[in-house]
Amino acid sequence: MKKLFEKFVDDWEVYTGMSLVMVIILFICFLMVDCVGGKTITVTGQVLEHRYKPSWVEQTFENVPYDLGNGHTAYRMEYHTYHHSEQFSLVVLGPDGPESHSVNQALYVYYRDGQDVPIRRRIGAYSGRCLTSWISSR
């Protein structure tokens, strides 16, 4: 055991370097999953509307009646919260009329706008840094 410890003390720079390389590799893998992963849908037609809504929490208050037992009714305030995932909705004027596409997960959306320019929009579930639109060569 003492010999192993002495060897570790002699080679600590090697172990530190290997650890740093592993951390960098894991970080690169995280970025690949973050910015590349997702579902793809493809639609073609004139875009009438597109909207992105990040995840949000809806809060509601409600007056709920309850019986007091003596023939009278009282009301109590109930509070509810609902967590909604991010959503992307797209309305396209296709050959058969307007088509609506709505998704609530990480995805790529390919569509053509009125000038037939391919547009690719990344909707990221993992971080905000991928929430950009750019013209695609696709």
Residue 16: per-residue pLDDT = 84
Q: How confident is the model at residue 47 (pLDDT cuts 50, 70, 90)?
A: low
Question: What pLDDT sits at residue 106?
Answer: 45
DSSP state of 27: H
Roughly what angle, to the nearest 10 degrees, separates helices 2-10 and 12-36? 70
Q: Where are the domains of the chain?
A: 1-36, 37-135
pLDDT (average), residues 13-34: 79
pTM of the predicted model as reported, rounded to 2 decimal places: 0.32
Q: What is the mean pLDDT of the chain?
A: 65
Q: Give the β-pairing of 39-42 and 107-112.
A: parallel
| Tens digits of residue pLDDT in 72-123 | 888 888 887 877 766 667 777 767 777 776 665 544 444 444 443 344 444 4
Return the pLDDT at 131: 33
Question: Closest Cα to residue 91, out of 40, 138, 46?
Answer: 46
State the average pLDDT over residues 122-127: 38
Q: Report the alpha-carbon angle 94-125-39, nearest 5.
A: 45
> Number of H helices and number of E strands within the chain?
2, 9
In this model, does residue 134 exceed pLDDT 60? no
Best CA proximity match to 48, nearest among 113, 121, 136? 113
Paired residues of 127 in beta bridges: none
